[in-house]
Amino acid sequence: MLKKKRFFPRRELAVFSAALAFGVWAAPALAQEVSFAEDVLPVLNFRCTECHQPGGDGYEISGLDLTSYEGVMAGTKYGPMIIPGNWQESNLLAVIEHRTDRQIWMPHNRKPLSKCEILLLRFWVLQGANDN
Ligand code: HEC
């Protein structure tokens, strides 16, 4: 009698679906270059510049101006907030991903950024935090 054979052995199926899920999620995101002007700045304008421009709370307390590429890269009076290529060490990412003390979670006292907006910023940093 023929042994009944499953089309996909369970282990292979798991590996296959993990690869598929990762591929579908990561491939388009990595293939596409994130643009500072077209992708990142609109998020900052919409969610951050209310406070991070001269006259705003965030700017007055930390010195961080999020209205331009130069401002973002200049960081705060304590140093840079973006380390090109390294989102884990970039403090701007740490505060929006809530990896810091609660008092400096950003946007301050506002709805957190979406996972999608956070990933966009991560990819921008990972791709070198370019002025593109
Ligand atoms: C409602 C006002 C407000 C909004 C909106 C806001 N911030 Fe802030 N931000 C602040 C204030 C106030 C501080 C100073 C916090 C402190 O040092 O106590 C600050 C500080 C920071 C710092 C420096 C953290 C440090 O080391 O002290 C970063 C980075 C930052 N904000 C990023 C952002 C980003 C990115 C956004 C948008 C996603 C954002 N902020 C939106 C008010 C705001």
Q: Which residue of 50, 104, 114 sits with most ligand 1 atoms within 8 Å of its CB, as the best mutation to test the pocket?
A: 104
Where helices occur in the chain by DSSP H, the ranges are: 10-31, 41-47, 57-62, 69-74, 91-96, 115-126
Indicate the pTM of the whole model: 0.83
Nearest-atom index, ligand 1, CA of 57: 12
User: What atom in ligand 1 is closest to the CA of residue 107?
Assistant: 41
Residue 125: closest CA among 5, 34, 6, 7: 34
* pLDDT tens string 23-57: 555 555 556 899 999 999 999 999 999 999 999 99
Average pLDDT over residues 103-122: 98
pLDDT in tens, 46-99: 999 999 999 999 999 999 999 999 999 999 999 999 999 999 999 999 999 999
